[in-house]
Amino acid sequence: MEKNKKIALGELISELKSVLIQDGENSLTDNEDWFYYTEESAMLDLNTIGIIADPVEVDEEEWEEILPDIAVENDFLNPISSELIDNVLINAFSQNARVSNDIIIEALNYYIENDSFMAL
């Protein structure tokens, strides 16, 4: 995934779906070295704009999260791991291979709120 790139969540989901369909789920989970950062407190939808950047780091002395500068500079302070996005996508596809981007984003919001996968 190209880092330091602003992208709508719907477009990101489309790209990941394409990779999943063409190359299988291992191709998603083998490259989880990025996070998707969005504005805080917003419900995610197709038009949510965020940025793909390096993962959150943790200051082990202070136990504070350190977000990448590019995320902070753009006020994208809500980190979502690529692992979470990939797992929600894989779970949704395992339930319905024709799942829409809207439903995947609904499932992502559901997971963020409930810490469990949504039944489709």
pTM to 2 decimal places: 0.91
In this predicted model, what pLDDT tens digit does every residue of 17-69 receive, in sequence order?
999 999 988 888 777 789 999 998 778 999 999 999 999 998 888 888 899 99
Q: Is the pLDDT of residue 110 over 80?
A: yes
The token duo for 94 is: 């395992």
Q: Is the pLDDT of residue 84 over 90?
A: yes
Using CA atoms, how far apart are residues 83 and 96, in angstroms rounded to an integer?
20
From the list 74, 4, 85, 3, the residue with the least C-alpha distance to 44 is 85
The three-state (H, E, C) secondary structure of 86-107, written as one string: HHHHHHHHHHCCCCCHHHHHHH
- Maximum separation of any 2 CA atoms in the chain, in Å: 46
Confidence at residue 116, expressed as pLDDT on a 0 to 100 scale: 96
